[in-house]
Amino acid sequence: MIELKTQSDMDAIHENGRVLCSLFDRLETWMEAGMSTWDINQFCEDYITKAGCFPSCKGFEGYPAGTCISINEQVIHGIPHKEKIVRLGDIVSIDIVCDRKGNFFADSTRTYIMGEVPDRTRLLVRTTKECLDLAIEAAAKPGARMNDVSGAVFEHANQNGFGVVRDYCGHGVGFGIHEDPNVPNFVSPFAQNLKLREGLVIAIEPMINMGTHKINTLHDGWTVVTADRKPSAHFEHTIGITKNGVEVLTQM
């Protein structure tokens, strides 16, 4: 069931989304090679808590930390560890959800490039960000449907020769972390292709692989990696559909 949001709901989600945005901006300069993903998680949890929010991943379906930090071949849901060190040449996806008093969840992800990486890796990260931007543009057009969003991601990634993860999707968000509808990053003939109505709040999150789209889950039960162990990038924004197009709720 899809629960539409009022403008004041969206404003409240946006307030939490701004916390995420400023945290992600801060990480651009604060995060350095040599830090553990545990240190980075701690910094993020403190930042969110000081802003009066809660890092919603903590405890969600038993997940043990306030952020997901996924390096290189890790696609999503990397669990922060003291022994997992970020190194020069890595790409690091940080996926964070925050809420206030159990409501108005905002969900966003950025992939950071640590120092020098091969050109193709840089292209992967740039293309993934472009997939997100194109999807948001598609959602903003009058009369837009879900397939416009899904197709924008898939076409751009595919044109660059990258694999598009199918087993995980974007999602409705706001009153909970994961709500209806699903927001796929590819178009299937079985997609219901719903019309994007005013009041719909969704997280769009392309997960794009250097190699094939195939993924595996590690024995920790969480970490999703590419089947071919080639790198993967991930960007995400929470957006609200309004009368006039879209509001990106995880931007300032």
Binding site for ligand MF3 (CB under 6 A): 57, 60-61, 63, 68, 77, 95, 97, 107, 177
Q: How far is the CB of 60 from Co ion (least distance, A)?
A: 11
Q: Does 68 bind Co ion (CB under 5 A)?
A: no
**Run of H or E including 109:** strand 103-113
> Quick one: how far is CA 184 from the chain centroid?
13
Q: Using an 8 Å Cβ cutoff, are 37 and 71 in contact?
A: yes
- Side-chain half-sphere CA neighbours of 87 within 13 A: 5
CB of 41 to ligand MF3, least distance (A): 11
Q: Which residue type does 17 have?
A: G
Q: What are the beta bridge partners of residue 163?
A: 209
The nearer residue to ligand MF3, 54 or 117, going by C-beta atoms, is 54
107 binds Co ion (CB under 5 A): yes
Say which residues have a Cβ less than 8 Å from residue 78's Cβ, sequence separation at least 6: 37, 68, 69, 70, 71, 84, 93, 222, 223
Q: What's the closest the beta carbon of residue 24 comes to ligand MF3, in angstroms?
A: 13
- Cα–Cα dist 227/32, whole Å: 28
Helix (H, G, I), strand (E, B) or coil at 167: coil
Residues in contact with Co ion, shown as a per-residue x/- string from 111 to 150 under the rule CB under 5 A:
----------------------------------------
Least gap, CB of 202 to ligand MF3 (angstroms): 11
Report the DSSP beta bridge partners of residue 7.
none
Determine the interface stretch with Co ion among 49-57, 115-123, 185-193, 196-204 (rule: CB under 5 A): 196-204
CA distance 169 to 94: 16
The residue among 61 and 119 lying less far from ligand MF3, judged by its C-beta, is 61
Helix (H, G, I), strand (E, B) or coil at 80: coil
Residues binding Co ion: what is the number (CB under 5 A)?
3
As measured in angstroms, the least distance from the Cβ of 142 to ligand MF3 is 28
Residue 73 as a binder of Co ion (CB under 5 A): the answer is no
Nearer to Co ion among residue 65 and residue 117 (C-beta)? 65
61 binds, among Co ion, ligand MF3, none (CB under 5 to 8 A by kind): ligand MF3
Closest contact distance (angstroms) between CB of 120 and Co ion is 26
Residue whose entry in the numeric block shows the structure tokens 């709720």:
249
Task: Please tell me the distance from the alpha carbon of residue 117 to that of residue 130, in angstroms, as a whole number.
Answer: 19
Q: How far is the CB of 245 from ligand MF3 (least distance, A)?
A: 23
| Cα–Cα dist 114/90, whole Å | 5
The stretch near Co ion (CB under 5 A) out of 9-17, 106-114, 140-148, 193-201 is 106-114
Among 203, 224, 246, 249, which residue sits at the site for Co ion (rule: CB under 5 A)?
A: 203
Residues of this chain that interact with Co ion (CB under 5 A) are 107, 203, 205
